[in-house]
Structure 1
Amino acid sequence: MFHSWRHSSSNYKTVYFLLACWRPFMSLERRQWHRIEGAGGKTNDILHGLCQSGIKHSDTNVLYFPGDVQETEEYMKKGPNHEWIQWSYETTVDRLCERFPRSNTFLVRPRRMVKETFNCFDHFVNGNLLGAPDHANSFGALHHITEIVGRLESDLGLSRDWMIVGFSHGCVVLNQISYEIAALEEIDSKPSGNEDFKKSCKDPDDDVNILDGVSTLAADWLKSHDVTSIRDFISRIKVLYWLDGGHSGQGNTWITDDATIRALTVIPDIRVHVTPYQMKDKTRPWLEREERQFVDKLKGYGGNVTEQMHFKDEEKSLSIHFNLLQEF
């Protein structure tokens, strides 16, 4: 059962509302869902931009993870980042609905915000106080996403294909997904192990061993997740978008691990869009270096990846960083 979002603005008199846009050729609908349950009792709020041809007539669905600063219009207009209110959750969902008019768009609200700026995706990836990630291939982002997506598909009658978009800090979720895909790749590729290990990984309700020998970390991951559903969801991810990834940490912003990048080639379409805001930041030189490694290695392993630098002749600024959401 979906509930209304706790941060409803004064314009949101009901859970369901119609936004009458000033654009004469379109009207956009949004719905707010509060505390959608995923894995292990974890919940996230969702802002849903409805497909313009109807929920059940969409070709695919978009799952969007926002960047730092972004919040609801009501929150942003009262806080220190009010000058960026044009990139609130509501307007961003509207832009994504325009970008993908035959898709349902779902913005996933982070668990917490620190200093009214830093969004922290604690339910998807482990991190520090400011949300800088500590990636591990056993954390459970895919399990949580699979459970949330399953509820959305069941309750709303959605199509089953998905695109996942991460913007700025939101790209840490895509990175975590990638590490977990690599964990599944390890599980699938290992040869048979010893009998004691097999018994420890045996489904008590089945006579068939869940897997043969893999590392302890991968085994722990397997025993704590619904791997069949997760594999099914991975097979239905059609596109991953990395949009100007960045976070407050001192590195590990883009994936450079070979095994993880090689496993990521299972995704049919990967798109990387960047701006000088991240790539030309002299105080964080690792951003450009890591991004280059990510794209080059992905191409080297046969991945279908496209890369585009936007606003390349403009000065580094937060404005062009946010404007990417309109240009990609």
Structure 2
Amino acid sequence: MISLRSLSAGLSLFAVAHMSSIASGGGGMEPTGSPGPPLRRLLRLASVPGSEQHRLNDLLLLSPEGPRSQNDHVVFFPGDIQNFQQEMALQPEAAPWQCWSLERVAVILGSRFPGRHIWVVRASHMYLHKFSCYQNFVESNLFGAPEHSPDYGALRHLRGLLGHGMERAGLPNPLPPLGGAAPLPQGFSLTLVGFSKGCVVLNQIVYELAGARVEPELKLFLESISDMYWLDGGHPGGGETWVTDKRALGELAACGVSVHAHVTPYEVRDPMRAWVGREHRRFIKTLEEHNTCITHKLHFEDEPASIENHFRVIKEF
């Protein structure tokens, strides 16, 4: 979580080049970018429905270079303060951090995962223009602190959101509509990445795994997830920053998903939130006991904890 103390006035660490945004006509679709690649390949999709018509999220899609024959997809859930470039530029507290806008992160991830479609999911609500709230994925308060449950429907919403997003973007092999057990497109694979507050979505999905594995229209979708990345997870609640429930983590291990946990001292060594580090260690230990395929790393461990390095993990993982 990005705290108010970290976003105080006077932050001006990064100098960011201007990124233009060109609004287009119909369909709630806005190509976003500047003359040079890869920004030219960015497509903004507004108010995309997920599992239900009232659950809407804006999406940003970075298409891979070359023929769009691959069906490999990466979905990224950003943290607090992260928004579209134009919106961040208008907010005094967000403007210094524009190099971590949704557009910029999409380009970073495009380099990290070449040849894949990169989807960035904008939080459905941003309280005070900085606290991301993923209410469509997990029960949350105004500040985005989650209350997890086994049946909220995060996985179903993601399935519907991607299907509608693929249709809206005109991809050749979109996911079939929800409502049956139709096979997924050939070669479809999915990687999920959560950063900071965005990790609450991954956590909620973990709590839903037991039910999803026996539900026909979600089982195949779940099996398409190859990797899940937790990047310096954090939120304003007083616990459940990392999943520690042994039964839920056992389900994650049983799914065969490769788990990756990348953290920095900003989250796991904050003496004011000591539970974050404890939960992170329990998360790792429990998954290792289940023989999960897991990699984990503490980045910048020899440097002072800072929000700058908190963001930098997006580039370094």
Q: TM-score range by the shorter chain?
A: 0.7 to 0.9
Distance in 1 (alpha carbons) for counterparts of 2:74 and 2:152? 23
1:57 corresponds to 2:57: no
1:16 corresponds to 2:31: yes
| Offset of residue 27 of structure 1 | 6.4
**Matched ranges for 1:111-260 at <5 A:** 111-154=124-167, 155-158=170-173, 160-184=188-212, 188=214, 227-260=215-248
Q: 2:204 corresponds to which letter in structure 1?
A: Q
Aligned residues: 276
Distance in 2 (alpha carbons) for counterparts of 1:244 and 1:316? 12
Q: After the TM superposition, list the runs of 4 or more consecutive aligned residues in structure 1 that deviate by more than 6 angstroms.
A: none
1:36 corresponds to 2:48: yes
Q: Structure 1, residues 79-116: CA drift from partner, whole Å, max 9, x if none? A: 12211111011101111111111111000111100122
1:305 maps to what in 2? Answer: 294
Contact in 2 for aligned 1:19/1:30 (Cα 8 Å)? no
Contact in 1 for aligned 2:39/2:107 (Cα 8 Å)? no
Contact in 1 for aligned 2:89/2:98 (Cα 8 Å)? yes
Aligned-pair RMSD on alpha carbons? 1.8
| Offset of residue 289 of structure 1 | 0.3
When residues 119 and 318 of structure 1 are mapped into structure 2, their CA distance, relative to the original with a 3 A threshold, is same
**Matched ranges for 1:68-83 at <5 A:** 68-79=80-91, 80-83=93-96
Distance in 2 (alpha carbons) for counterparts of 1:28 and 1:162? 23
**TM-score (norm. length: structure 2):** 0.83
| Offset of residue 59 of structure 1 | 5.4
Distance in 2 (alpha carbons) for counterparts of 1:94 and 1:270? 23
Distance in 1 (alpha carbons) for counterparts of 2:316 and 2:244? 26
Distance in 2 (alpha carbons) for counterparts of 1:111 and 1:149? 15
Q: Structure 1, residues 145-203: CA drift from partner, whole Å, max 9, x if none? A: 11122234454125510101000000000000000003345xx5xxxxxxxxxxxxxxx
Q: Structure 1, residues 60-97: CA drift from partner, whole Å, max 9, x if none? A: 11011000010111111121221111101110111111
When residues 146 and 82 of structure 1 are mapped into structure 2, their CA distance, relative to the original with a 3 A threshold, is same
Q: Return 5+ residue gaps in structure 2 as ranges.
A: 1-18, 25-29, 174-186
When residues 171 and 164 of structure 1 are mapped into structure 2, their CA distance, relative to the original with a 3 A threshold, is same
Q: Return 5+ residue gaps in structure 1 as ranges.
A: 1-8, 189-226
2:9 maps to what in 1? Answer: none
| Offset of residue 53 of structure 1 | 2.6
SS at match of 1:90: helix
Contact in 2 for aligned 1:65/1:166 (Cα 8 Å)? yes
Contact in 1 for aligned 2:61/2:117 (Cα 8 Å)? yes
Contact in 1 for aligned 2:50/2:157 (Cα 8 Å)? yes
Q: 1:129 corresponds to which letter in structure 2?
A: L
Q: Percent identity over the alignment?
A: 34
Distance in 1 (alpha carbons) for counterparts of 2:87 and 2:191? 27
Distance in 2 (alpha carbons) for counterparts of 1:327 and 1:28? 24
Q: 2:263 corresponds to which letter in structure 1?
A: V
When residues 111 and 13 of structure 1 are mapped into structure 2, their CA distance, relative to the original with a 3 A threshold, is closer
